[in-house]
Structure 1
Amino acid sequence: MSGPQCCANPPTLNPSSGAGHVEKVGGLDSYVSGSPDSKLAILLVSDVYGYEAPNLRKLADKIAAAGFYAVVPDFFYGDPFVPDNAERPIQVWIKDHGMDKGYEDAKPVIEALNSKGVYAIGAVGFCWGAKVVVELGKSSAFIKAAVLCHPSFVTVDDIKELKVPISILGAEIDQLSPPALLKQFEDVLASKSEAAVRYVDSFVKVFPKVAHGWTVRYNVEDEAAVKSAEEAHGNLLEWFVKYVK
């Protein structure tokens, strides 16, 4: 399931990028942005390139500007995927960085935020991170709302188990989560909304003419790419403003 598209357009990592700073949150080095006094937090779970990606940090700053405390943990412990390392292709790298481990590592981060007085947390996951966020969303104990951007490894069965409002933003050109799969997700979520037992609000959108990774791995000099990414950023912010309160 992790193919070339999963790793396309790698960012140039920059540990000093962004308007925020790095500190320990729940035992993990984390890029944080926004007022630490905010009672509302958004957890950003990166793709395989990790928390030093400038576009990801720029998005965290944008989320912080909307009044949230944005937290981007380093779930890879200083070992993001390096596409030029022929000895460690993605299939090998991912064995050391499973999404199940990311899910477990996210729990202490959430606990640390709660202990600081944060009472509502949302989470957005990109590619690899989307699976982590889905796992968190299978219980209402961890997060209030979820957003998935061009998810990887997420299955229909995962979507069936969701307990929190979810927004799924996908790309028209995506081998990992093609529009046909997103349509299945949408159908499952629609049936959940209609079920009297458990109402889960949802939003599924496929962005035309963009490829997997477009929300954080866009070329800042490509006007059309920036516009599509910013539209997605606006959608995810609207979702969190609506449900993380």
Structure 2
Amino acid sequence: MTICANCVSGHVLPGDPTGSTDPASGYYLALRNPAIAGRADANKTAIVLLTDIIGLRLKNAKLLADRFAQRLGYDVYVPDLFDGHPPVRLIDDEANLRKFIPDEPGAKFSLWNRFQFLFLILRCAPGLWKTRPSIGRERVQAFIRDLKENKGYEKIGVIGYCYGGGIAIKLAMQKGMVDAVVSCHPGPVWLDDFPRVVVPFALLCPEEDEWLSPAKRDRAEAALKVLKNVPTKVQTFSGTVHGFCCRPALGIPKVQTAFEGAFEEGVAWFQTHL
């Protein structure tokens, strides 16, 4: 299983995307802000934003890409990880987002909610298998190779959310593929991956997360701390649950503060390591 209840819960960010969608491959492109001075290498550097399991059906990933492009002065690409067929379909607005559990820690997962979630898993099972993380990773690797070979980018930063955050960890283990990685509330997570990270890597975590419990988070941080010559960072945001970096409940002050804080951490990481 590659989704949890919070993977399909959350909120839609306000605003409208300003970038464009490639008609052939379906990726979204947010063009860099030309007003940012002192970025002589801007046309040689790109950010690749990896979506959650909902993919590009929800506008949140596009809005985040627009924000990063404006702040960093780099082009930001959002590839279609699911080749037009996200496993969790019909989610493109607030009304269609499933609300299984609340937006803050300490939620009670009722028997009815468990039944609804199990039913959703059964309905989505074939799509989840077809889009398992190993398949998504292959698509992302091919996408990054294309950016380098055919579009002339020399440096690549990657930021991933949930499903995309798990893929981001795998990319951080490959020399020469990408140059800096930020993983936001990733899932699924394998602790054996963290000692193998070889590029600057930041892990942004909620207080409560089915994929990365406090104990697992501590073990991940311990594994990253001992890496030599590889900058790493683990940060936990209190008052949050899985999904807060991309589908936050902005009406809750703690969650809004954490969402903005995580965004700024991503900006700072790429400014420092790209």
Larger relative strand fraction: 1
Identity %: 26
> Structure 1: any 5+ residue segments left out of the alignment?
194-198
Q: Give the counterpart of 2:139 among 105, 116, 120.
A: 105
Residue 93 of structure 2: aligned partner: none
Residues 131 and 152 in structure 1, CA contact (< 8 A), matched pair in contact too: yes
RMSD over aligned Cα, in angstroms? 2.4
Q: Which range moves more in the overlay, 183-192 or 28-37?
A: 28-37
Residue 95 of structure 1: aligned partner: 129
Do residues 120 (structure 1) and 155 (structure 2) align? yes
Q: How does 1:1-245 map to 2 (within 5 A)?
A: 2-9=3-10, 11=12, 17-23=16-22, 28-35=25-32, 38-65=43-70, 66-80=72-86, 81-82=88-89, 86=120, 88-114=122-148, 115-193=150-228, 199-244=229-274
Q: Provide the C-alpha distance between the structure 1 equivalents of 2:161 and 2:121, rounded to a whole number of angstroms.
A: 25
> Structure 2: any 5+ residue segments left out of the alignment?
34-41, 90-96, 99-118
Structure 2 residue identity aligned to 1:43: V
Q: Which runs of 4+ in 1 moved over 6 A?
A: none
Partner of 1:62: helix, strand, or coil?
helix
Structure 2 residue identity aligned to 1:116: K
Structure 1 residue identity aligned to 2:56: Y
For these two proteins, the number of residue pairs brought into alignment is 235
Structure 2 residue identity aligned to 1:122: G
Q: Provide the C-alpha distance between the structure 2 equivalents of 1:92 and 1:238, rounded to a whole number of angstroms.
A: 39
Which protein has the larger Cα radius of gyration, Structure 1 or Structure 2? 2
Residues 171 and 178 in structure 1, CA contact (< 8 A), matched pair in contact too: no
Question: How far is 1:224 from its partner?
Answer: 3.6
Residues 49 and 158 in structure 2, CA contact (< 8 A), matched pair in contact too: yes
Question: How far is 1:159 from its partner?
Answer: 0.9
Q: Provide the C-alpha distance between the structure 1 equivalents of 2:120 and 2:169, rounded to a whole number of angstroms.
A: 31
* TM-score, structure 1 normalization: 0.87
* TM-score, structure 2 normalization: 0.78
Q: Provide the C-alpha distance between the structure 2 equivalents of 1:142 and 1:111, rounded to a whole number of angstroms.
A: 8
Residues 4, 87 of structure 1: alpha-carbon distance in 2 compared, 3 angstrom cutoff:
closer
Larger relative helix fraction: 2
Q: Provide the C-alpha distance between the structure 1 equivalents of 2:124 and 2:226, rounded to a whole number of angstroms.
A: 35
Residues 171 and 178 in structure 2, CA contact (< 8 A), matched pair in contact too: yes
Greater RCO, 1 or 2 (C-alpha within 8 Å, sep 6+): 2
Q: Provide the C-alpha distance between the structure 2 equivalents of 1:225 and 1:75, rounded to a whole number of angstroms.
A: 27
